[in-house]
Amino acid sequence: MKPAPFEYYAPATVEEALPLLGEYGYEAKILAGGQSLIPMMNFRLAQPSVLIDINNLSELFYIRPGDSGVCIGAMTRHCQVERDTLVSERAALLYETMPKVATQQVRNRGTIGGSLAHADPAAELGAVSIAMDSRFRIRNQKGERWVNADDFFVGMYTTLLEPEELLVEIMFPSLPPRSGWSLVEVARRPHDFALVGVVAVVALDKNDRCTHVRLVLLSVGDRPMVAHQAMKTLLGQTPSSGVIRVAAETAAKEDIDPGSDIHASAEFRRHLADVLTRRSLEQAFERAKAN
Ligand code: FAD
């Protein structure tokens, strides 16, 4: 398959890219790692008349310490995040997630900004960014705005990015003191998109009571799904197998409404959500207790 014809621009700086986005708006698509966009263009599911290649924007390739965590430029490739010492020290959940994202070949080209902007509800990074309370820096010709990861994803492959906007940076804050984290998922084959995945971040006080919890499920809705009801059952509780069981059942029954497709029935996805939420919380609380 070959893509439909398009005009190609390769700006050298963000300042050059933004006017192009402003001029072409909905007609244009940004090309980052191309791992999702190029197959869609080849199948003609996407037919942009203008392609704005941002691979020359060297100012968007970086990993730096942030106020308390780590700031990552949107064009940083998955493989760089996967091997970065600062990420391993300051954002252990993100570090552990990277090898689970696609195959090494895809990770060599795919970018963190591209994955988040693509907003596949089965992608790990969207759920992890919400669980870590990350913030996204977005630019257009007029200036910039910061958006919470929780607000960024608005539907299936849809974010609140406007066509003239560029995602430029993602800030992953450090987790609270005495916190623990976990990402567990089930896929048919290693490196396939997960049938269901669960990301948990928890924190405990000195009496081992849960003071902070983020529970986000992937592949069970049109975007990463925050398990608000399940989170309520955990706050203020001392974690036990009973407390965790109630939270997992609540997540699977009340917080999600998964659909059936060729990969899995809704019933099987709900079952996985229950089992994986339990495993994820168990691991997260174990880690928090050890801190
Ligand atoms: P591109 O394909 O270049 O762009 C994707 C979309 O984002 C396009 O609409 C583009 O215009 C837009 N975009 C890109 N950058 C920006 C920006 N800075 N600002 C605004 N818009 C932007 N992902 C997972 O999470 N888990 C998996 O298990 C997984 N498995 C995969 C398996 C295969 C075989 C393949 C091909 C991909 C898989 N992926 C998986 C997706 C992979 O992570 C991609 O790299 C990612 O989705 C897109 O990143 P990219 O840099 O290639 O973006």
Q: Render pLDDT for 218-252 as a digit per residue (tens, 0 to 9).
A: 999 999 999 999 999 999 999 999 999 999 999 99
pLDDT digits (tens, 9 = 90+) for 249-270: 999 999 999 999 999 999 999 9
Q: State both tokens at 208.
A: 């081992």
At 68 the pLDDT is 83
Per-residue pLDDT band for 291 (boundaries 50, 70, 90) equals confident
| Alpha-carbon span 2 to 43, nearest angstrom | 7
Distances (CA, A) of 37 to 52, 81, 191: 12, 21, 19
How much of the chain exceeds pLDDT 90, in percent?
Answer: 97
| Alpha-carbon span 241 to 281, nearest angstrom | 10
CA of 238 to the centre of ligand 1 (A): 39
Per-residue pLDDT band for 186 (boundaries 50, 70, 90) equals very high
CA of 53 to the centre of ligand 1 (A): 14
| Alpha-carbon span 225 to 257, nearest angstrom | 10
Q: Which protein residues touch ligand 1 with a CB less than 6 Å away?
A: 29-37, 74, 101-102, 106, 110-111, 113-115, 117-118, 120, 123-125, 161, 166-167, 193
Q: Is 161 helix (H, G, I), strand (E, B) or coil?
A: coil
Nearest protein CA to atom 10 of ligand 1, as residue: 30
Q: Quick check: 179 pLDDT over 90?
A: yes
| Alpha-carbon span 72 to 113, nearest angstrom | 9
Residue 189 CB contacts under 8 Å (≥ 6 apart), including other chains: none
Q: Which pairing describes strands 63-65 and 70-73: parallel, antiparallel, or unpaired? A: antiparallel
Nearest protein CA to atom 17 of ligand 1, as residue: 167
Burial class from Cβ neighbours inside 10 Å (0-12, 13-18, 19+) for residue 179 reads buried
For a pocket test of ligand 1, which of 14, 30, 36, 196 has the largest count of ligand atoms closer than 8 A to its C-beta? 36
Is the pTM of the predicted complex or chain greater than 0.85? Answer: yes
Give the mean model confidence (pLDDT) for residues 64-89.
96
Q: Quick check: 191 pLDDT over 90?
A: no
For a pocket test of ligand 1, which of 18, 30, 31, 78 has the largest count of ligand atoms closer than 8 A to its C-beta? 30
Phi/psi class of residue 178: alpha, beta or left (left: φ > 0; alpha: ψ in -120 to 50)?
A: left
Q: Which atom of ligand 1 is nearest to the CA of 193?
A: 28
Residue bearing tokens 């509800």: 121
Burial class from Cβ neighbours inside 10 Å (0-12, 13-18, 19+) for residue 267 reads exposed
CA of 40 to the centre of ligand 1 (A): 11
Amino acid residing at 173: P
Mean pLDDT of the chain: 97
Per-residue pLDDT band for 67 (boundaries 50, 70, 90) equals confident
Residue 271 CB contacts under 8 Å (≥ 6 apart), including other chains: 252
pLDDT digits (tens, 9 = 90+) for 88-140: 999 999 999 999 999 999 999 999 999 999 999 999 999 999 999 999 999 99
CA of 124 to the centre of ligand 1 (A): 11
At 1 the pLDDT is 73
Buried b (16+ CB within 10 A) or exposed e, 66-79: beebbbbbbbbbbb
pLDDT digits (tens, 9 = 90+) for 203-223: 999 999 999 999 999 999 999
| Alpha-carbon span 126 to 120, nearest angstrom | 8
SS3 breakdown of the chain: % helix, strand, coil, rounded to 5?
40, 25, 35
Nearest protein CA to atom 39 of ligand 1, as residue: 102
CA of 116 to the centre of ligand 1 (A): 7
Per-residue pLDDT band for 181 (boundaries 50, 70, 90) equals very high
pLDDT digits (tens, 9 = 90+) for 157-178: 999 999 999 999 999 999 999 9
